[in-house]
C-alpha cells in the first residue's frame, strides 16, 4: 500500500506503520546490495584464499 493506493488514509498510524515497513525494506535491500558488491569486488580482485582443508577428509580413502 502506498500513498497512491485507493485505500490510503493520511493518518498517523498509516504513516508510522508504512514508514517502518519501508525502513525495514530499505535496510534489507541495502544489506543485500552491500554483500553483492563486496562479493563481486572480492572476486574481481583475484585475491581469493581457499579455506584450509579439513584434516578428517584426508582419511576418506582409508574408510
30 or 6, which is more confident: 30
How far apart are the C-alpha atoms of 37 and 48, rounded to whole Å? 15
Residue 50 has pLDDT above 90, yes or no: no
- Are 9 and 2 in contact by the 8 Å Cβ rule? The answer is no
Which of 9-13, 28-32, 47-51 bottoms out in mean pLDDT, i.e. has the lowest? Answer: 47-51
Q: φ and ψ at 62, to 5 degrees?
A: -75, -25
Residue 61 has pLDDT above 80, yes or no: no
Mean of pLDDT values over 11-36: 91
Q: What residue spans define the domains of the chain?
A: 6-43
Amino acid at each position: 500500500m502506498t500513498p497512491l493506493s485507493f485505500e490510503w488514509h493520511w493518518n498517523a498510524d498509516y504513516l508510522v506503520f508504512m514508514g517502518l515497513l519501508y525502513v525495514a525494506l530499505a535496510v534489507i535491500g541495502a544489506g543485500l546490495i552491500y554483500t553483492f558488491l563486496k562479493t563481486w569486488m572480492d572476486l574481481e580482485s583475484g585475491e581469493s584464499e581457499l579455506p584450509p582443508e579439513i584434516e578428517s577428509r584426508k582419511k576418506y580413502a582409508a574408510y
